[in-house]
């Protein structure tokens, strides 16, 4: 946490974890402008370091700390702050600006401080509470946290429909073992989208053999896979016609997938899917995708709302409440 901005920001963007941490910390701030504020002296006293140490971190990590709530109070705002708290703070009356931390910035500097034993203890507490909060919000596990996104169900349905187009094209136009060729081509697509085959992905997420890989993928990744499957299926059929009904080899299909992966139109979608997958799995599942590590970013506050906040959905309850409707749809599809 002391060396990774992404690790720090993943905590600071998670308001649910911040609430838990604030409950556990024995620290009193100064309520000003609707937020608890802390002076540099208060921060230094809590972490048992000199104010000069806090100043040094403000110099070296100023942009990050400002992003997370540190600011210079001045002018009318400073005048109001002094009127409220002059008797509690040891600041000269002629001070024209005063550095103040909100709770996020207070935690932020605790994540950075290497000289403080108190900060080290805080970092350990933070990690425990972040994990506990995510597990509490997801009902004890994160394997299927992707399903808590309201966009997951329509994306999964879309992917399933395009998957049928691809499997039909493989069945009709591709030579090879009647079972293995589907798995081989699926792996080509996985490699193109997130640079891992199914086996590698299973190992990173510690999935059982019975777990369906696609059931763990985020909506954005599923939509990119849909695009690939549809494009690959169409390209297979086109090539099959060009060969006048001679079936393609699996190696020829791999070339098609790789060409599609390099198409300029695909690049923005691939980059977005890789970023979502690398970043969310790292934050929510503690899973590290080494092959797409360059796409790793902090999870945004909005994403925390989507997956563990008020915007998230209970996928299992939705299925349970609509099982009769789904059963009828499945029966109608089988009858066609």
What 59-62 contacts at long range (C-beta under 8 Å, 24+ apart), as own/partner pairs, is 61/109, 61/112
How are the residues of the chain apportioned to helix, strand and coil, as percentages rounded to the nearest 5? 65, 5, 25
The residue extents of the domains of the chain are 5-138, 145-335
- Buried/exposed 37-69: b ≥16 CB within 10 Å, e otherwise: bbbbebbbebbebeeebbeebbeebeebbeebb
* Full DSSP string of 185-249: HHHHHHHHHHS--HHHHHHHHT--TTS-GGGGS-HHHHHHHHHHHHHHHHHHHHHHHHTTTPPBP
Summarised one tens digit per residue, pLDDT across range 254-292 is: 999 999 999 999 999 999 999 999 999 999 999 999 999
If DSSP codes are grouped into helix, strand and coil, which group holds residue 259? Answer: helix
Rounded distance, CA 173 to CA 248, Å? 6
Place of tokens 């009904």: 245
pLDDT of the chain, 336 residues: tens digit per residue: 899 999 999 999 999 999 999 999 978 899 999 999 999 999 999 999 999 999 999 999 999 999 999 999 999 999 999 889 877 776 656 778 999 999 999 999 999 999 999 999 999 999 999 999 998 988 878 999 999 999 998 899 889 989 999 999 999 999 999 889 999 999 999 999 999 999 999 999 999 988 999 999 999 999 999 999 999 999 999 999 999 999 999 999 999 999 999 999 999 999 999 999 999 999 999 999 999 999 999 999 999 999 999 889 877 666 666 556 445 545 554 555
CA distance 42 to 9: 23
Q: Number of helices and strands (H, E) in the chain?
A: 17, 4
Furthest CA-CA distance within the chain: 90
| Token duo for residue 285 | 């599942």
């Amino acid at each position: 946490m002391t060396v990774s901005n992404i690790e720090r920001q993943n905590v600071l963007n998670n308001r649910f974890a911040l609430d838990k941490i604030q409950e556990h910390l024995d620290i009193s701030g100064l309520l000003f402008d609707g937020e608890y504020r802390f002076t540099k002296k208060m921060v230094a006293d809590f972490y048992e370091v000199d104010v000069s140490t806090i100043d040094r971190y403000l110099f070296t990590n100023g942009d990050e700390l400002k992003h997370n709530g540190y600011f210079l109070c001045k002018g009318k705002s400073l005048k109001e702050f002094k009127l409220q708290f002059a008797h509690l703070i040891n600041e000269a009356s002629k001070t024209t600006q005063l550095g103040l931390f909100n709770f996020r910035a207070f935690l932020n500097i605790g994540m950075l401080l290497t000289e403080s034993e108190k900060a080290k203890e805080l970092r350990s507490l933070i990690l425990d509470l972040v994990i506990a909060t995510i597990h509490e919000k997801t009902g004890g596990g994160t394997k299927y946290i992707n399903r808590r996104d309201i966009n997951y169900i329509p994306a999964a349905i879309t992917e399933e429909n395009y998957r049928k187009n691809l499997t039909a094209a493989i069945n009709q136009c591709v030579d090879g073992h009647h079972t293995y060729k589907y798995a081989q081509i699926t792996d080509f697509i996985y490699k193109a989208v997130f640079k891992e085959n199914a086996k590698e992905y299973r190992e990173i997420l510690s999935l059982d053999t019975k777990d369906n890989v696609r059931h763990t993928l985020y909506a954005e990744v599923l939509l990119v896979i849909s695009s690939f499957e549809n494009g690959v299926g169409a390209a297979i059929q086109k090539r099959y016609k060009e060969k006048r009904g001679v079936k393609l080899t699996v190696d020829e299909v791999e070339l098609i997938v790789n060409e599609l992966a390099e198409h300029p139109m695909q690049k923005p979608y691939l980059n977005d899917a890789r970023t979502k997958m690398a970043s969310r799995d790292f934050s929510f599942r503690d899973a590290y995708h080494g092959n797409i590590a360059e796409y790793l970013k902090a999870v945004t506050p909005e994403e925390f709302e989507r997956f563990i906040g008020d915007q998230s959905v209970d996928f299992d309850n939705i299925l349970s409440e609509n099982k009769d409707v789904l059963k009828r749809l499945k029966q109608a599809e089988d009858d066609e």
